[in-house]
């Protein structure tokens, strides 16, 4: 019986870009957050004398060979486990290609999880993360789920205290954004800004300050209020996010992507809204082109969805997905 795995998406709650490193990559600091929106990855595998991979998809833009992240993940996982197998993978794409939502990276992790269940074998945890980092910078986050701090080039991942759940709207424009080109544009911009402060350190400190213990430099106490002093889980959710927003979190990619694609800036404004029902936070996800807004209620999210759709852009209402639900809902059976 084939194994079907929900391949969840992500957004970036802030993303700071550092200078190019000697290895050609840029240092990053970001806070990933997984969402309920997902592709479906179906894996059927059995041990065999020779390894053979077959990949299919309902989306013609998905490569069906060794260029695909799911193919790379399965091939290298089998090598590390010293297993030969016949493997069939089908990717039912529901997420945008080149959308900045980590769809291809999540497909790779979903394929690995499906493969391990099919074969009754798995890699040790640290080796799985090591392999994921080889496949791509934002692949390892999908081995954790929930709120995840990403450092290095994004592949060094650390579980972050889960943010309480939010309604979200994902806007999916009809344009694609090239991540390599966005980095090149960033480098060109940075050359004109000598002596700027270390943004990676600034954003890392901002994230840490939100959850610092009371009496220290923290700007928000993440534990529930004492009994009799008011407050509720909804307030906790809103205040946690607002605490992050007050630190000045932003996505550096917006500075180079919006001038090239000005329509994306307008979509962000629509997501944000104004007055009652406006977003708590809205931003580009990764290098785009998808954008997101987070809201106090589903009703507010539905209003934002309507604003974006009225302007001619596809928009989907979803929810943030904490770590526990990420894993309990992984298998689609």
What tens digit of pLDDT does each residue of 247-277 get? 778 899 999 999 999 999 999 999 999 887 8
Per this entry, what is the length of the chain?
333
Report the C-alpha gap between 320 and 305 in whole angstroms. Answer: 16
pLDDT in tens, 102-159: 999 999 999 999 999 999 999 999 999 999 999 999 999 999 999 999 999 889 999 9
Last residue in a domain, options 161, 190, 225 = 161
Residues 73 and 154 in one domain: yes
What pTM did the predictor assign?
0.87
Res 77: pLDDT: 98
Q: Is residue 311 part of a domain?
A: yes
Residues 188 and 97 in one domain: no
Q: Is residue 333 part of a domain?
A: no
Residues 86 and 186 in one domain: no
Has residue 224 got a pLDDT over 70? no
Catalytic residue (one of 10, 72, 199, 268)? 10
Instruction: Assess whether 10 carries a catalytic annotation.
Output: yes
CATH code assigned at 106: 3.30.230.10
Residues 152 and 36 in one domain: yes
Residues 119 and 211 in one domain: no
Res 269: pLDDT: 97
Res 193: pLDDT: 53
- Minimal CA–CA distance to 167: which of 84, 281, 4, 45? 281
Residues 196 and 53 in one domain: no
Count of structural domains, the chain: 2
Catalytic residue (one of 39, 72, 138, 300)? 138
Residues 138 and 246 in one domain: no
Last residue in a domain, options 127, 161, 195 = 161
Residues 237 and 256 in one domain: yes
Res 202: pLDDT: 78
Residues 28 and 124 in one domain: yes
DSSP label at residue 280:
S
CATH code assigned at 250: 3.30.70.890
Last residue in a domain, options 161, 188, 219 = 161
Report the C-alpha gap between 20 and 277 in whole angstroms. Answer: 40
Instruction: Assess whether 138 carries a catalytic annotation.
Output: yes
Q: Is residue 302 part of a domain?
A: yes
CA-to-CA separations, 165 to 21, 144, 211, 293, 327, in angstroms, rounded: 36, 17, 17, 13, 15
Residues 145 and 218 in one domain: no
Residues 153 and 188 in one domain: no
Enclosing domain of residue 181: 167-323
Q: Is residue 130 part of a domain?
A: yes
Residues 126 and 247 in one domain: no
- Please, how many CA atoms are within 13 Å of residue 144, restricted to the half-sphere of its CB? 24
Report the C-alpha gap between 237 and 257 in whole angstroms. Answer: 30
Kindly report the average pLDDT of the chain as a whole number.
87
Res 234: pLDDT: 47
Q: Which residues of 169-182 are buried (b: 16+ CB within 10 A; e: fewer)?
A: bbbbbeeebeeeeb
Report the C-alpha gap between 148 and 259 in whole angstroms. Answer: 29
pLDDT in tens, 274-295: 887 899 999 999 988 999 999 9
């Amino acid at each position: 019986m084939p194994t079907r795995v929900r391949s969840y998406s992500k957004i970036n709650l802030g993303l700071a870009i550092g200078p190019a490193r000697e290895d050609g990559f840029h240092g990053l600091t970001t806070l990933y957050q997984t969402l309920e929106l997902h592709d479906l990855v179906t894996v059927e595998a059995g041990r065999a004398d020779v390894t053979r991979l077959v990949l299919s998809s309902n989306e013609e833009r998905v490569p069906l060979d060794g260029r695909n992240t799911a193919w790379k993940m399965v091939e290298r996982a089998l090598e590390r486990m010293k297993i030969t197998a016949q493997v069939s993978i089908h990717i039912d794409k529901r997420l945008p290609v080149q959308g900045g939502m980590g769809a291809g990276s999540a497909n790779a992790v979903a394929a690995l999880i499906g493969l391990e269940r099919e074969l009754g074998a798995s890699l040790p945890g640290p080796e799985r993360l090591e392999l994921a980092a080889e496949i791509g910078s934002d692949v390892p986050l999908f081995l954790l789920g929930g709120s995840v701090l990403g450092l290095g080039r994004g592949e060094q991942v650390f579980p972050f205290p889960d943010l309480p759940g939010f309604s979200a709207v994902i806007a999916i424009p009809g344009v694609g954004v090239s991540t390599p080109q966005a980095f090149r544009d960033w480098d060109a911009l940075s050359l004109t800004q000598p002596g700027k402060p270390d943004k990676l350190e600034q954003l890392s400190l901002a994230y840490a300050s939100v959850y610092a213990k009371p009496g220290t430099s923290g700007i928000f106490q993440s534990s529930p209020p004492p009994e009799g002093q008011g407050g509720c889980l909804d307030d906790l959710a809103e205040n946690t996010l607002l605490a992050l927003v007050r630190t000045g979190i932003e996505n550096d990619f917006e500075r180079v992507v919006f001038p090239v694609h000005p329509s994306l800036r307008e979509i962000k404004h629509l997501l944000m809204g104004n007055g009652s029902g406006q977003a708590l936070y809205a931003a580009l996800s990764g290098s785009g082109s998808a954008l997101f807004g987070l809201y106090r209620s589903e009703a507010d999210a539905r209003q934002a969805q309507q604003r974006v759709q009225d302007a001619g852009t596809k928009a989907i209402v979803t929810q943030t997905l904490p770590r526990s639900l990420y894993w309990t809902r992984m298998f689609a059976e």
